[in-house]
């Protein structure tokens, strides 16, 4: 299992290094030295590090976690690391690594990031957000 996670993580790093370099990078104490270029650290929640990596594909991507709609204008991932294991946001929540309160806080950080950095960020959220 650990080898699979490492292989997947390396694949994500390699894919992400090809794009997303224009994004600013925030730094917090944690595993940021091993993150793909262009990743943005959202912070530490319930002893887990959480970061965003955007893509350059031309479609709207909506991922719902704990009732919150995470939206971006291209393929993206929000990853969670705890004790060397990497999960996507949904799996981290389903496995009890993050609470619903953590997801709510991560959602606000992500939404603000999208509105600040994506030309159509506010329109995306108005169209897709619903009741969040």
Q: Kindly report, residue by residue over 64-88, the tens digit of the pLDDT.
A: 999 999 988 777 889 999 998 999 9
Bridge partners of residue 40, in order along the sequence: 52
β-pair partners for 51: 41, 79
Q: Look at residue 92 and tell me whether its pLDDT is greater than 90.
A: yes
pTM: 0.66
- CB-based contact 60:124 (threshold 8 Å): yes
């Amino acid at each position: 299992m650990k080898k699979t996670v490492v292989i997947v993580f390396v694949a994500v790093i390699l894919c992400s290094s090809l794009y997303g370099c224009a994004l600013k990078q925030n730094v917090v104490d944690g595993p940021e030295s091993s993150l793909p270029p262009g990743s943005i650290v959202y912070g530490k929640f319930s002893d887990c590090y959480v970061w965003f990596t955007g893509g350059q594909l031309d479609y709207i991507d909506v991922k719902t976690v704990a009732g919150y709609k995470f939206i971006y204008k291209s393929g993206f991932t929000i990853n969670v690391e705890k004790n060397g294991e990497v999960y996507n946001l949904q799996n981290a929540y389903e496995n009890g690594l993050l609470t619903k309160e953590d997801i709510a806080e991560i959602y606000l950080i992500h939404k603000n990031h999208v509105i600040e950095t994506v030309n159509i960020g506010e329109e995306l959220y108005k169209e897709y957000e619903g009741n969040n």
